[in-house]
Amino acid sequence: MTTVHTDVSALQAKAQALEAEGRRREAIDVLCEANRLSRDVEIERRLVRLRHEAFAELDRSLGPSSWPPVLAEDEMPTEAGPLTVSSPDELTPEVVRRGIFGYGSVHVRGAIPPDDVARLRDGIDRAFAAYDAHAEGTPASETTPWFEPFRPTGGRSIGIRRKWTRDASGIWAADSPRVLFDLLETLEQVGLARLIATHLGERPAFSMNKCVLRKVSLDTVGDWHQDGAFLGSDIRALNAWITLTPCGRDAPGLDIVGRRLDRVVETGTEGSHFDWSVGQPVVDRVAEGTVVRPEFEAGDIVLFDELMLHRSALDPSMTRERHAIETWFFAPSHYPGDQVPLTY
């Protein structure tokens, strides 16, 4: 134990020196190593802050010269619905490219190991309980590391959006330092982080606003939408949507338009509830009969970008809530201006 403590202390000192030199991304890697040796609340809190501050150090002039990539003839889709792979071993950069730009999404079965699924699901429950305790007056010093409101720098205002997210069955992962650490460690261990970096052509950043822990209840309103309707057009993005409970049968899943769309479709009309959502008649026209409702198991992942048209899939026969995490990654060279940035 003494040796571990000494090692952790040395790593913390090294990270502090790197931060003082303006090398925050390297400091993040060192602190992650320290936290793997011995979980520490202060390290996890510090990592959230460093991930935010390190974004200013990124060279945002990088990235592919053209986007989106053009698919070869033999990569074009042969059927509707997400391109499904039966294991993470089958998930290559070529499969991700073909799935996103041909089919609109990729469904990866069993991407997250059961132990990690259980850890993340338990973390979500703890985060929601801690958020609610904090809302009732418990100080953040007692609810961290499961919930501690993160305050971004640079005059960025959160306003009421944190409460809106909670009212919509979500909590920002950045407000739960421990769950955020576990999430990013899991994505690294299963190789998804490297695939996303390859797909985007850059080491990705992600967003405080769009990295969300979900407990989707049965009274959720499932409006059709494309995230590009509020993320903007000049971006390069990929969402890793992780389900931590079986869903699509007795818990809310996803309804997906199973074809690639090349634009943000008409919003705010024909029965839509919000100015960013899509009315059913519009969906019927653009889907061309390709709407699917996949059944997901705990640990499955769906990869998609800002143009996939989808909604939460609800049915009166469903009886269980859904635990899930959505994590939107962005190429730093094309990062949306209204998102609060975090570096991977």
276-328 pLDDT tens trace:
899 999 999 999 999 999 999 999 999 999 999 999 998 888 999 999 999 99
| Token pair recorded at residue 26 | 């390297």
Q: What confidence tens digit (pLDDT) does each residue in 7-18 have?
A: 999 999 999 999
CA distance 185 to 269: 41
Q: What confidence tens digit (pLDDT) does each residue in 329-338 have?
A: 999 999 998 8
pLDDT score of 2 = 57
What does the pLDDT average to over 184-210?
94
End-to-end CA distance of the chain: 30
pLDDT tier at 158, thresholds 50, 70, 90: confident
- In the chain, how many H helices and how many E strands? 11, 11
Question: What CATH number is given for 62-343 in this structure?
Answer: 2.60.120.620
According to DSSP, the residues that pair with 170 across neighbouring strands are: 214
Which contacts qualify for 316-319: CB closer than 8 Å, 24 or more apart? 317/250, 318/218, 318/249, 318/250, 318/251, 318/252, 319/218, 319/250, 319/251
Map out the domains of the chain as residue ranges. Answer: 62-343
pLDDT tier at 3, thresholds 50, 70, 90: low
Task: Tell me which amino acid residue 274 is.
Answer: F
Q: Show Cβ contacts of residue 66 under 8 Å, excluding neighbours closer than 6 positions.
A: none
